[in-house]
Amino acid sequence: EAQVTQNPRYLITVTGKKLTVTCSQNMNHEYMSWYRQDPGLGLRQIYYSMNVEVTDKGDVPEGYKVSRKEKRNFPLILESPSPNQTSLYFCASSLHSGRGYTGELFFGEGSRLTVL
Amino acid sequence: GNSVTQMEGPVTLSEEAFLTINCTYTATGYPSLFWYVQYPGEGLQLLLKATKADDKGSNKGFEATYRKETTSFHLEKGSVQVSDSAVYFCALSLMDTGRRALTFGSGTRLQVQP
């Protein structure tokens, strides 16, 4: 089954304790991205990756890091989480090539993070 | 910059009622337009899309028409069901940019009562 898998789905942590949210896709997509969802703001892009070893900032990258060492994986790293990073996080992927890209992003089920 | 504005929810309807969720946008360039749906506890999934002016996207009884003159992409369904209860997001994408970022509206929660 084609899917984007995120872990953990739920996490409560404390300020300053480093954490990683993993994301894996099995569709051989070149493009992957992280979004955060906050009430009244919709989804905002944090980081994206066009392919392995190619990453770039989205609209709200502060406080986050990413890496893309393998095509299928795109972890989101919070080096020193703060309460304003409490949010619902979504990983998404899509085909990259111009002809193959339809505008459709495939989303994971989300990871709800609470930073105390 | 690019932005998407949706009507605020929640929208509460009885089963078989007609649904309209308004969406307007501002964009530099010629965006593609999308409606995504988020069912409780799940990620977003594409509902329908339109890539150029006057295109109509449709899926599962939902429709939306890309209106360039009014910069709108309103979502409609003739007869809603309880299973349509979800949050609906309007979004745009400038397909020719490498970022591939979707600009989302704030979402509209639909509650359908039996």
B70-113 residue pLDDT tens: 999 999 999 999 999 999 999 998 866 666 678 899 999 999 99
Phi/psi region, residue B68 (left: phi>0; alpha: psi -120 to 50; beta: rest), is alpha
Q: Note the pLDDT of residue A8.
A: 96
Residue of B nearest to A42 (CA): B106
| Least CB–CB distance from B43: residue in A31, A94, A109 | A109
Amino acid identity for residue A80 in this structure: S
The encoded tokens of residue A48 equal 């994206």
Q: Note the pLDDT of residue A39.
A: 87
- Verify whether the Cβ–Cβ distance B45 to A44 is below 8 Å: no
Q: Note the pLDDT of residue A2.
A: 79
What is the C-alpha to C-alpha distance for residues B114 and B15, in angstroms, rounded to an integer? Answer: 5
Q: pLDDT digit string (tens) for B11-39?
A: 999 999 999 999 999 998 888 999 999 99
| Least CB–CB distance from B49: residue in A31, A41, A103 | A103
Contact B82, B112 (CB under 8 A): yes
Say yes or no: A105 contacts chain B, CB-CB below 8 A. Answer: yes
Residues of B in contact with A41 (CB under 8 A): 106
Which of the residues in chain A have pLDDT under 70? Answer: 96-102
Q: Note the pLDDT of residue B99.
A: 66
Q: Residue B107 contacts by C-beta under 8 Å, 6 or more apart in sequence?
A: A42, B6, B9, B38, B87, B88, B89
Say yes or no: B107 contacts chain A, CB-CB below 8 A. Answer: yes
